[in-house]
Amino acid sequence: MKKWMWLLVAAGIVAAPAWTFAKEKAAAGAKAELKEMTVVGTITKEEKTGKTGKAMTVYTLTDKDGAKVMLHAGKKADSAANPADFVGQNVTVVGQGEEKTSAKGKKMVLIEKITSIKKVE
């Protein structure tokens, strides 16, 4: 009887850290909630090579203070919300996004869902 009890205790000690690690990993992988954002600035286009070696186009909006906001164009960009149509122009972008901190500790703003882009006159 004591052997079984010690076996259960040992199994609990071994399984507890693995269960806690899995729970922490799941929480870390959860997406942050997107919040409504409006930013004003100039859109620029840049060609970069991704982690897989594939060429990709990156759109960023630079505001008057020099802060950069990454814009996600999506796979089928709507013509009213396609950053490619507004490259080099001063615009107002409305969408849903999030603020992130990179591995190097740098703050980043990413707009994932663009609702509208309007040229500022």
pLDDT digits (tens, 9 = 90+) for 74-121: 655 556 678 888 899 999 999 899 988 777 887 888 888 888 889 987
The answer to whether 37 and 96 are in contact (CB under 8 A) is: yes
Same domain, 12 and 52: no
Determine the structural domain holding residue 12 and report its residue range: 1-30
Flag whether pLDDT at 6 surpasses 70: yes
Same domain, 70 and 25: no
pLDDT (tens digit per residue) in 50-59: 788 888 888 9
pLDDT (tens digit per residue) in 7-40: 666 666 766 666 565 556 555 555 668 899 999 9
Give the number of domains in the chain: 2
What are the structure tokens assigned to 8, written together? 């259960």
Same domain, 53 and 96: yes
Same domain, 17 and 62: no
Taking the CA of residue 8 as centre, how many other CA atoms within 13 Å lie in the half-sphere pointing to its CB?
4
Same domain, 4 and 45: no
Same domain, 5 and 63: no
Same domain, 42 and 76: yes
Mean per-residue pLDDT, 34-50: 90
